[in-house]
Chains A and B, each alone.
Chain A
């Protein structure tokens, strides 16, 4: 059974710092790994999707990596801004369903 774990559950950092969010998954046979952003009371915004054959994806200040052999993914956020404050969800695709972690609540201190 696929499980996705995100540590830490919450994180507060000063504005301008670089930071890394961690995600681990138990089933290495995932098809892809996706990072989402969710603002309070809002829907999901897809940030980056890494196919199983890829190792990383980049978009602006965001970089996501995937290591299937170790069952880990990281989301790197450079030069953090207060607008980055949100919950970040890691999710692995297996068959027809996406398995989500519970998320990391990120608070960027101005």
Chain B
């Protein structure tokens, strides 16, 4: 049973380009969470999604960032018109369902570098 998969593992973009980060949850998991780790900062929650629904986006920047988790395929975190401050490691986690006892399992992360 493969763990949470993220791709690409490393992504380089120039300022103004778009970045698309993909997350495939563990088999049987229908809940996905995105976290961001800025340099020298702790990981911070961005968004929580179920299939076709955004449940909690309280940690998402108001502009340029969006997330989706379609019925088929991976979850996508999309960053439009990237700026240098978007350079960070983006981690995805998944769980079976929403329960306070259900552990979130983390992927290896995507490291975004904006030139």
* Interface residues of A, Cβ cutoff 8 Å to B: 4, 31-32, 34, 36, 41-44, 46, 49, 51, 89, 91, 93, 95-103
Partner of A97, one of B41, B42, B56, B108: B56
Give the CA-CA distance A42 to B108 in the complex, in Å.
7
Enumerate 24 A-B pairs (CB-CB under 8 Å) in ascending A order: A36-B106, A42-B108, A43-B91, A43-B106, A43-B109, A44-B43, A49-B103, A89-B42, A89-B43, A93-B100, A95-B56, A96-B33, A96-B56, A96-B98, A97-B45, A97-B48, A97-B58, A98-B35, A98-B43, A98-B93, A99-B45, A100-B42, A100-B43, A101-B42
- The answer to whether A96 touches B43 (Cβ under 8 A) is no
- The answer to whether A51 touches B106 (Cβ under 8 A) is no
Main secondary structure of the interface of A (DSSP, over half): strand
Select the residue from B42, B58, B101 with max chain A CB neighbours within 10 A.
B42
- The answer to whether A32 touches B45 (Cβ under 8 A) is no
CB neighbours of B91 from chain A (8 A): 43-44
B111 at the interface (CB under 8 A from A): yes
Whether A31 touches B103, Cβ cut-off 8 Å, given contacts A44-B91, A101-B42, is no
